[in-house]
Structure 1
Amino acid sequence: MTTPQEELLPGTRRALLHRIAVAQAEGRAPSLVAAVVRGGHAVWHGSRTSVEGHGPDENVQYRIGSITKTFTAVLVLRLRDEGAIDLGDPLEKHVPGTGAGEATIAELLAHTSGLAAESPAPWWERTPGSLRPELADVLGEQPIRHPAGRRFHYSNPGYSVLGALVEKLRGAPWEEVLRREVLEPLGLDRTSAQPQAPHAGGWAVHPWADVMLPEPTEDLGLMAAAGQLWSTTGDLARFAAFLAKGDARVLSAESVREMRTPAAPAEPADVVDGATYGLGLQIQHRDGRLLVGHSGSLPGFLANLTISVVDDVAAVVLANCTSGPMLSALGADLVRIVAEAEPRLPEPWRPLREVDASVLESAGQWYWGTHAFALRLTADGLVSLGPLSGNGRRSRFRDNGDGTWTGLEGYYAGELLKAVRRPDGSVGHLDLGSFVFTRQPYEQGASLPGGVDPEGWRGIS
């Protein structure tokens, strides 16, 4: 239930309904259902259908295809956070004998393992998983298409291998582990490996005629970790809220932030609005907005989950057709409609509870050569360093408690910032990964590599 502060304005709701109505009509989808999340809760649900009296709601299941991969990635990150694995571990260390053991777990998560895009014939999405009873049947005799770590190459078998990793280390089936460790803690009781009523049927719509054909629904077997799940807009709205902020019962905010961080570039042919891939999440820039999430498709179904963390808005869209509406564009539009019509209110400014005088001394204007920067102390206990104007390297830094700070993002992520003091104890300059920042541009007497011309600044004679 939403509070009055969370409810969307009537005009926003009308715009959302209009957008999905256009998508369903022009995309010729038998049905389409959507949800919008704001403030960690679903604040809007909408649906359009071709069958009178049978409009789906937030509790009707659709197959979500490759959004399943994001769930599998959460299970793998849990293993990492517990210390059972390192993302740099080669697969061979934990699941030997696959023929793809040189790839690391991180490379499998980011689709840079070099594995083939698909499992060998027959077409795995339209045939029973019983045809691939062993991992060797999923990978085939020649699973490697590219050297590991060299390029982004989306791989469905790669996530089947990650499912096998989860099963090996947990000693239980992937589906059982997922339910126990993710679905139940997050309250996703309408997400399952097999369809549970009420659920939509999958359809193929003829490309040149307004007629339909039912699609088969197969159990994917060992490919399940790549695309098996069924879910609802209600459950995926809760999952979107988790991916934005984390949940200590499942995965920390820091770990879900890591999932949302680019880990692989997209191939040039696939780049649309700067698309990249994180650890189980697709990442793109669209209309100046950073969006994360995942799309999915299996015969008869399309799915999309899109999140703008900065705007605190997410969208879920599900349809029961093999092709038709472009759900990734639709999800991005739903986020944009809400973000632009009802921009997020910033958190109230709050002062620091206490401040270290020695840190406060370093606040203010600094120069890297002739570039002006500002160092600020913020209420969250961090310091930020960035250009006074225009673009340039900027980062927030975490206090290490010893007079140094560690960069959290951008060019300076992981780099050390420290205040270097003069013999009298005052701050002489800042050192950031060997770069020297001074109070004045090329300050006389400052400890600058190469020194400063003793004649100082001058005009043209």
Structure 2
Amino acid sequence: MIDTTVAQAQARGRTPSVVLGVLRHGRLAHVASAGRHPVPDRDLQYRIGSITKTMTAALVLQLRDAGVVDLDDPLRAHLPDVPFTRITLRQLLGHAAGLQREPDSDAWWERTTGTDLAGLLATLTPDKVALRPHTAYHYSNLAYGLLGAMTRRLTSTPWSELVRDRVLDPLGMSRTSYHPAAPFAPGYVVHPWHGTLAEEPRTDTGAMAPAGQLWSTVEDLSRWAAFLTDPDPAVLAPETMTEMCRPVAIDDPERWTGGHGLGPELYRVGERVFAGHGGSMPGYVALLAVHRPTRTGVVAFANSYGFADGSIRELGLRVLADVLDREPEPVAPWLPGRPPAPPVAPICGRWWWMGREFQASWDAGPGELVITQLGRGPAQTSRFTPDGPDRWRGTAGTQHGEILAVRRDPAGHPRALDIATFVLTRDPDQPDQPG
């Protein structure tokens, strides 16, 4: 089924070659390919374009986790050469800064040899801010050129070395490189009338490299896709990756089908949200998309810039949704649990607030207290972990971050659960009183 879908996309899109890999449980499970110029396989390099931005974002978040920067810092605090006083790192990562899309140049930066950092910074003036921050989603390649410049300034290490040393090498991505490394697929423009091929230049984009320079293979990029679903803590904390995949801006306010996190793009397909990024450079298009809860994903490449104007994204997202629909995750069996500790056991059971029924239960695996609202539509569940005697901190659900305090009577029996001033009691007719 996947092989046929890829073959049809290659034929209809009139592209020299297409290759697509499917991940299940974080591993490359299937590779489908079509075309003969060249014949693609899992070790053939293609240019990944803006998928590079997700790695640049990871470098910024590494610096944040190390305490070097705060995401709400102005860029100018760490890159004093820029003329923007208020634009923050968070806004740049999520394309919410309003910064203009491309750097100033006499030619398209992706198709010409790039300038150095001094040359890029010399083009900046305050009017490069096209919109006030957060007034609209406004994709900006320039933003990521500047974020890469900041990582270099803060570490005294070129971006190409940083991404190699802090991301690619630790994840075993030996076939992902700054310049193409044979075997690689040449990139083409396909003539619209007679189908002939014109090869595109393979440029070094210089200071704009953090926005789209890298090359990779299906095998290698699948490692990065797997990392997005289950990060290696030695490279990036799992909770940081979760933060990166939360929306900063919605790019489709009418239908909410897409948005942007702190680096990754977000795609809503039906009731699922996928994280990843698209990529394009002259002669190449690419897609990476993952469903983080199931560690399922796709990576896809084609070596024609005009591949039916967006077909690589359509192809990849369709395959990913089909895989999840046709091969759902196996249902984990229910297993008996261990009893909670004596102070916790009496908390479990039914509770009430304003006539609404709640259930407190114990999840022995992670050692969490689970509060579920019953009835009245889909169940709403919040999870809490211990935060001191009779004190619990919300870790998931509607009460994430809030404190649950257990109120006890003089005999030590739980009489109320105070969740951020919403007080649950055992009796639906007797609301608890302060004190």
Provide TM-score, normalisation by structure 2: 0.92
Q: Do the aligned partners of residues 438 and 307 (structure 1) sit closer, same or farther apart at CA in structure 2, a change above 3 Å counting?
A: same
Stretch of structure 1 that moved more, 373-382 or 179-188 = 373-382
After superposition, what is the alpha-carbon deviation per residue over 1:216-239, rounded to whole angstroms, capped at 9, x for unaligned?
Answer: 222111110011111111111111
Match of 2:223 in 1: 238
After superposition, what is the alpha-carbon deviation per residue over 1:202-229, rounded to whole angstroms, capped at 9, x for unaligned?
Answer: 1112345433322222211111001111
Match of 2:55 in 1: 71
Match of 2:234 in 1: 249
Where in structure 2 are the equivalents of 1:162-201 lying within 5 Å?
Answer: 162-201=147-186
- Aligned mates of 1:392, 1:376 — CA distance in 2: 14
- Aligned mates of 1:168, 1:422 — CA distance in 2: 59
Q: Aligned to 2:432, which of 440, 443, 446?
A: 446
- Aligned mates of 1:137, 1:97 — CA distance in 2: 9
Match of 1:4 in 2: none
Q: Aligned to 2:416, which of 405, 408, 429?
A: 429
Q: Does 1:106 align with 2:90?
A: yes
Q: Aligned to 1:398, which of 353, 365, 385?
A: 385
Runs of 5+ unmatched residues, structure 2? none
Match of 1:8 in 2: none
Match of 1:376 in 2: 361
- Aligned mates of 1:363, 1:319 — CA distance in 2: 55
Note the C-alpha offset of 1:299: 1.3
Residue aligned with 2:185, SS = coil
- Aligned mates of 1:272, 1:30 — CA distance in 2: 34
Q: 1:311–1:344: 8 Å Cα contact kept in structure 2?
A: yes
Q: Does 1:91 align with 2:78?
A: no
Q: Do the aligned partners of residues 131 and 400 (structure 1) sit closer, same or farther apart at CA in structure 2, a change above 3 Å counting?
A: closer
After superposition, what is the alpha-carbon deviation per residue over 1:308-332, rounded to whole angstroms, capped at 9, x for unaligned?
Answer: 1223211101111112242222222
Match of 1:210 in 2: 195
Note the C-alpha offset of 1:284: 2.2
Q: Does 1:311 align with 2:294?
A: yes
Note the C-alpha offset of 1:351: 4.6
Match of 2:303 in 1: 320
Q: Do the aligned partners of residues 85 and 346 (structure 1) sit closer, same or farther apart at CA in structure 2, a change above 3 Å counting?
A: farther
Q: Do the aligned partners of residues 141 and 130 (structure 1) sit closer, same or farther apart at CA in structure 2, a change above 3 Å counting?
A: same
- Aligned mates of 1:138, 1:370 — CA distance in 2: 63
Q: Do the aligned partners of residues 213 and 368 (structure 1) sit closer, same or farther apart at CA in structure 2, a change above 3 Å counting?
A: farther
Q: 1:273–1:286: 8 Å Cα contact kept in structure 2?
A: no
Question: Please, what is the CA RMSD of the aligned residues?
Answer: 2.2
Q: Aligned to 2:258, which of 268, 271, 275?
A: 275
Residue aligned with 1:84, SS = coil
- Aligned mates of 1:417, 1:118 — CA distance in 2: 48
Q: Aligned to 2:401, which of 414, 418, 431?
A: 414
Taking only the aligned residue pairs, the percentage that are identical comes to: 39
Stretch of structure 1 that moved more, 149-158 or 137-146 = 137-146
Q: Do the aligned partners of residues 41 and 416 (structure 1) sit closer, same or farther apart at CA in structure 2, a change above 3 Å counting?
A: same
- Aligned mates of 2:216, 2:176 — CA distance in 1: 4
Note the C-alpha offset of 1:37: 1.0
Match of 1:156 in 2: 141
Q: 1:384–1:395: 8 Å Cα contact kept in structure 2?
A: yes
Runs of 5+ unmatched residues, structure 1? 1-14, 450-461
Provide TM-score, normalisation by structure 1: 0.87
- Aligned mates of 1:351, 1:380 — CA distance in 2: 14
Residue aligned with 2:323, SS = helix
Where in structure 2 are the equivalents of 1:5-154 lying within 5 Å?
Answer: 15-51=1-37, 54-121=38-105, 122-130=107-115, 133-137=118-122, 139-140=124-125, 142-154=127-139
Q: Do the aligned partners of residues 211 and 245 (structure 1) sit closer, same or farther apart at CA in structure 2, a change above 3 Å counting?
A: same
Q: 1:100–1:115: 8 Å Cα contact kept in structure 2?
A: no
- Aligned mates of 1:348, 1:263 — CA distance in 2: 36
Note the C-alpha offset of 1:272: 5.6
Residue aligned with 1:408, SS = strand
Tell me the number of residue pairs that the alignment of Structure 1 and Structure 2 aligns.
430
- Aligned mates of 2:255, 2:382 — CA distance in 1: 27
Q: 2:350–2:360: 8 Å Cα contact kept in structure 1?
A: yes
Note the C-alpha offset of 1:367: 2.6
- Aligned mates of 1:360, 1:151 — CA distance in 2: 50
Q: 1:153–1:267: 8 Å Cα contact kept in structure 2?
A: no
Q: 1:34–1:46: 8 Å Cα contact kept in structure 2?
A: yes
- Aligned mates of 1:264, 1:386 — CA distance in 2: 30
- Aligned mates of 1:276, 1:119 — CA distance in 2: 23
Q: 1:311–1:343: 8 Å Cα contact kept in structure 2?
A: no
